[in-house]
A and B are shown apart, each in its own frame.
Chain A
């Protein structure tokens, strides 16, 4: 795909004094959201696209920081002049969600009531809480309606939730590699990840900040487990097979197979910067996500509240949120006569396919967005 990166970007911070009442019953009396924008909001304020992040994502969607040229946004390949999220046409907003660990108020932020990090006291946040917080950011930016809200995985669930919670404020929802709710298997994986963190002796009931430590071992295991579910079996086979690092069996428990080396590296890298409490919160937000719960489990009735047009996309090798899960969303939209297109994209990267650069995949997003009237 042609086009290029947005180049140097910077993040911004917005403070909100209006209390946010959360689905869990908790209250955030005040909070900060960090965000980034690319492109220019047009005079009609009709060209804004909100890009929602997944479990480990954040507000730095695209471009790089002048003082950190290697710190490239997590979805840089789809944003920029001439790219599908064309910054010559659209005003793109990325925001770090509440509970995050990249600058927005989260468990590692100071709780003003105690002067200490929130830690275990940080309330459980739901996808709908994020949507409400994002809506306040939209108000602040002067955006009444989004040209599109989009995201992959947990980000796609936010786009879906936006279309249900604020039907008048979303003209298009682009929901990629998502599901209308998690399966028992999805929740099971999340719980094993949480147990790894919760049983780490350095977790200290979530207040590890006070003990000047971090549950690195648990977080590392959680990430290793999660990472397996992001990849396809085929891709792992192609990439690592049964290759041995030293060419022969060592008959011990050191790193031997290349796949072990890769997973440990990924786990170590992630555990080095991510906050364990945020990981717990994000996985709970995933588990709780089920908009149809408000309609006795009837997704058709839930989607009746939407007004947006939809692009739903899934990936053939994604076994975390399979194409069948996306088709559940498609079926509920069709039952309501909504404008919806569905693409089942043949990419070999499992769940992570949504982050990959692929001519057909990006072509579909590009074609859909080019037909949006501003």
Chain B
């Protein structure tokens, strides 16, 4: 997953992170988010990436980056080594969904997860019209998509409950990156294109 500049979820994530915190960004791309967090929040950051080109790009950006495969867990990281573990727009590309969420909260105090919401009304309309959705937050064609898991806000929250994860905060954005307000969760699920969650675990 490649990060682009000024992604709306970046500022949200930055606001949840205290200066000086230790941050691990999983699927960090070229390190843009970490660089943003280092520059704006003075964090100490490390990224994990699988792609060779992104490893090179992150090192060029002066970011600590560890080459590794998220599907294989986070063995090289110790328990509770980080204040925040970020998984930005990557959860839908990982097969071992529960495994990676467990690992995030093993190595980190808090997990920050953002993902595209497949129940966003435009996505639903696209499917009703007979085509898989392609949008700002789902920019791929079905045949070249890295996404392997298709889920909604409500699906994700059900999984969190099942796994005993605590949702500390939730922000839902529309395609333009503006925060969506709604009267209930079902409406939010319908109006939101991108969801950002701050998770922790009872300890």
Contact = CB atoms under 8 A, between A and B. Distances in A.
Interface of A: 311, 327, 330-331, 334-335, 337, 339-346, 360, 363-364, 367-368, 370-371
Contact of A330 (B58, B59, B62, B66): B66
A335 B81 contact: yes
Contacts of A335: 78, 81
Nearest to A330: B76
Interface in B32-86: 44, 46, 52, 55-56, 58-60, 62-68, 75-78, 81
Contacts of B59: 311, 341, 343, 364, 367-368, 371
Interface residues of B, number: 21
B84 to A, nearest CB: 14
Given A330-B76, A360-B52, A341 B60 contact: no
Contacts of B55: 341, 343, 364
B81 A342 contact: no
A301 to B, nearest CB: 13
Contacts of B44: 337
B56 A340 contact: no
B22 interface: yes
Residue from B56, B63, B68 having most chain A Cβ neighbours under 10 A: B56
B27 to A, nearest CB: 15
B64 A339 contact: yes
Contacts of B81: 334-335, 337
B56 A360 contact: yes
Given A327-B76, A371-B59, A340 B66 contact: yes
A334 B75 CA distance: 11
Interface string B96-129: 0000000000000000000000000000000000
Contacts of B22: 337
A342 B66 contact: yes
17 contacts: A330-B76, A334-B76, A334-B77, A334-B81, A335-B78, A339-B64, A341-B55, A341-B65, A342-B65, A343-B59, A343-B67, A346-B52, A360-B52, A360-B56, A364-B59, A367-B60, A371-B59
Contacts of A340: 46, 64, 66
Given A334-B81, A340-B64, A370-B60, 7 more contacts: A330-B76, A334-B66, A337-B44, A340-B66, A342-B67, A343-B55, A360-B56
B62 to A, nearest CB: 5
Nearest to A309: B64
Given A330-B76, A334-B78, A344 B56 contact: no
